[in-house]
Amino acid sequence: MTSFKFFWTTHKWTGIVIAVLLVMSAVTGFLLLIKKDFDWIQPPTATASQGTIQDFAPIQDVVATIIAQDHPDFQTPEDIDRIDTRPDKRLHKVRSRHHYTEYQVDAITAQIISGPDRRMSDLLESIHDGSFFAGWFQNWIMPIVPIAILFLVFSGFWLWLQPKIRRARRRRSR
């Protein structure tokens, strides 16, 4: 098999396979870039009480407030994936491990000011990085994408360059 035929075949099939992953990453990446502009992607950040960090309620009060809501995604403290604190906005964003649910809690009063809301941006991010499908997909398949892109660049360059080299050699041999 000539190098041209080998690169043409592998370039074609690599491109076909990798196109699905590239489209998925491009679409989700675009939506993540514009997430602050659309409330259905990411809930807007609520306005909290005035105060300073010294006035913040203890984190235990925030957790107790969330658990008291009796939401199916927040039954125990273990259901909380993370609490993002926004000191400048005096706000805690409490995210669930389940179903991309979020409450926004006033950091001063420990009272809920928004929620429960769906964070579609978290779903989009998990699709974008491959973790939505499985851990092995994120760890083994997604790293292949940039390698495959580099292969497509170099094989595409070779497919463009090799006919030019052949023509130049033929001209010289005449």
DSSP characters over 2-38? -HHHHHHHHHHHHHHHHHHHHHHHHHHHHHHHTGGG-
Q: Are residues 117 and 150 in the same domain?
A: no
Tell me: do 147 and 77 sit in the same domain: no
Q: Is the residue at 166 inside a domain?
A: yes
Is residue 110, in this structure, part of any structural domain at all? yes
Which pLDDT value is given to residue 1?
57
Domain assignment of residue 30, yes or no? no
Domain that holds residue 74: 45-129
* Residue 119 counted as domain residue: yes
pTM: 0.72
Number of neighbouring beta carbons within 10 Å of residue 44? 12
Q: Check whether residue 60 and residue 117 sit in a common domain.
A: yes
Q: What is the mean pLDDT of residues 153-161?
A: 87
Shared domain for 90 and 155, answered yes or no, is no
**Total domains present in the chain:** 2
How much is the pLDDT for 113?
A: 94
Q: Return all residues near 18 (Cβ < 8 A) that are at least 6 apart.
A: 145, 148, 149, 152
Answer whether residue 64 is part of any domain: yes
**Is position 39 within any domain?**
no
pLDDT above 80 (res 115): no
Residue 98's pLDDT is 87
Residues 124 and 162 both lie in one domain: no
The answer to whether residues 64 and 111 belong to one domain is yes
Q: Rounded CA gap, 103 and 114, in Å?
A: 6
pLDDT in tens, 39-82: 899 888 888 888 888 889 999 999 999 999 989 999 999 999 99
Same domain as 109, residue 70: yes
Residues 50 and 112 in one domain: yes
Note the pLDDT tens digit of each residue in 128-144: 998 899 989 999 988 98
